[in-house]
């Protein structure tokens, strides 16, 4: 246990309020220097310090509790020093609620040309300049950004991976974690450790034991949503989550379909993030209480109902499906803004309803009702991911 871990408890805490008596789903509250976060919570992703097509004023109106920003991208541009001079990421982007920054590990994972070594991950930026992102660099960048929650730098293990590769990778990731802790100096920022291990149960257990022995403010399950599919993801989460400390927040990184969220919440996960609601919105795919709709479809040309008659978001209260289709047909940016507002509102409401159901010990009934419209075997088509 480090001295900083004790000091951070003055600014960051997690309180478990209730666990559903019929499953592992749980409700709690995270306290940060920039506000409280009821859990379970879904975090919209603001990769470059902005939620795409979403003004911060609408995030405030929807009472959004926390957003995510990306260390890798902000490190490259505009750079942590500039953001620090601007007063930190909160002031720079005009958002005074809690912010979580990821470490950059996933972005490095997604690069085709990279070199993973003991020092860190080496790659070239768009101008051809060689960049080394190390545990020290990642934590230094996040501290200059001033986020409420920082993620430790790790290697996001690809799927599939051999056992030998995974063993070597997690050993290095654990060494990196200790270097992250040594670089962690700001007690107002909580540092979360990340549990890897790919699809190997014993290696997941080994990671839980080693990472959680360091008594960090929170812990995340990493290395999922990397192509393994829902059933394997479920196997990993169902196996790993119960081994994680009950008194610390649990986070599954990069998970964001309604089907996956329903599964991880059932297994006691408190936090998640993904680009899916905003990415889908910009492509014209909307989430509703009756399943997904694709607003570009010709059927909506004369449809004068709101996207979702049960939704109270700004979009649904003021505009019709017909108008949204017209905006997309006309390539008007307002269409992307209005669909993004709706999808973020849907995800927020889904988490709020899940929390309410947990507190009333009826989460499984809630999950079954939503699952009728979001079956696990529903495929994600490329059309869902296309944006204008």
User: Is the Cβ–Cβ distance between 83 and 140 less than 8 Å?
Assistant: no
Give the model's pLDDT for residue 113.
Answer: 76
Q: Do the beta carbons of residue 218 and residue 230 sit within 8 Å? A: no
Q: Return the structure tokens found at 69.
A: 């920003």
**Structure token pair of residue 186:** 């700001």
Provide the domain count of the chain: 2
Residue 200, domain extent: 18-274
Q: pLDDT tens digits, residue range 102-112?
A: 998 788 777 77
Q: Are residues 131 and 238 in the same domain?
A: yes
Domain end (from 248, 274, 300) = 274
Give residue-wise pLDDT tens across range 271-315.
Answer: 999 999 999 999 999 999 999 999 999 999 999 999 999 999 999
Strand, coil or helix: 33: coil
Q: Tell whether 172 and 261 lie within a shared domain.
A: yes
Whether 196 and 235 map to the same domain: the answer is yes
304 and 175, same domain (yes or no): no
Alpha helices in the chain (DSSP H): 3-7, 56-61, 71-76, 80-85, 89-93, 105-110, 135-145, 163-183, 201-212, 229-240, 258-266, 276-282, 314-318, 321-329, 333-359, 363-371, 382-385
Q: What is the pLDDT of residues 342-387, one digit of tens each?
A: 999 999 999 999 999 999 999 999 999 999 999 986 655 434 444 3
Q: What is the mean pLDDT of residues 53-79?
A: 96
Which residues are annotated as catalytic?
A: 102, 273
Boundary of a domain, candidates 215, 240, 274 = 274
**CATH label of the domain that carries residue 126:** 3.20.20.105
This prediction has a pTM of 0.95
Q: Are residues 239 and 329 in the same domain?
A: no
Cα–Cα distance for residue pair 115/105, rounded to 1 Å: 12
Q: Is pLDDT above 60 for 220?
A: yes
């Amino acid at each position: 246990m480090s001295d900083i871990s004790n000091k951070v408890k003055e600014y960051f805490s997690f309180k478990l309020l209730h666990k559903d008596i019929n499953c592992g789903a749980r409700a709690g509250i995270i306290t940060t220097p920039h506000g409280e976060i009821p859990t379970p919570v879904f975090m919209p992703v603001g990769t470059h310090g902005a939620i795409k097509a979403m003004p911060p004023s609408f995030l405030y109106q929807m009472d959004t509790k926390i957003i995510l920003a990306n260390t890798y991208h902000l490190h490259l541009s505009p750079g942590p020093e500039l953001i620090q001079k601007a007063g930190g990421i909160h002031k720079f982007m005009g958002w005074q609620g809690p912010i979580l920054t990821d470490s950059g590990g996933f972005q490095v994972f997604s690069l085709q040309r990279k070199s993973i070594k003991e020092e860190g991950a080496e790659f070239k930026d768009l101008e051809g300049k060689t960049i080394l992102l190390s545990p020290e660099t990642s934590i230094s960048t996040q501290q200059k950004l001033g986020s409420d929650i920082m993620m430790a730098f790790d290697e996001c293990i690809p799927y599939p991976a051999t056992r030998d590769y995974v063993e070597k990778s997690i050993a290095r990731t654990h060494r990196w974690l200790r270097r992250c802790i040594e670089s962690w100096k700001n007690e107002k920022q909580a540092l979360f450790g990340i549990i890897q291990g790919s699809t190997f149960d014993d290696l997941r257990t080994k990671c839980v034991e080693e990472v959680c022995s360091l008594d960090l403010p929170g812990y995340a399950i990493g290395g999922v949503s990397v192509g393994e599919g829902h059933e394997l993801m479920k196997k990993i989460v169902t196996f790993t989550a119960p081994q994680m400390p009950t008194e610390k927040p649990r986070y599954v990184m990069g998970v964001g379909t309604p089907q996956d969220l329903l599964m991880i919440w059932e297994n006691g996960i408190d936090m998640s993030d993904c680009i899916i609601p905003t990415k889908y919105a910009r492509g014209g795919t909307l989430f509703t209480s009756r399943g997904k709709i694709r607003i570009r479809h010709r059927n909506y040309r004369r449809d004068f109902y709101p996207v979702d008659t049960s939704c109270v978001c700004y979009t649904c209260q003021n505009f019709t499906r017909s108008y949204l289709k017209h905006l997309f047909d006309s390539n008007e940016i307002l269409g992307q803004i209005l669909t993004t507002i709706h999808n973020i509102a849907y995800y927020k409401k889904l988490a709020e309803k899940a929390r309410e159901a947990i507190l009333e010990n009826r989460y499984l009934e809630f999950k079954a009702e939503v699952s009728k419209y979001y079956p696990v075997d529903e495929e994600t088509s490329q059309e869902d991911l296309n944006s204008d």
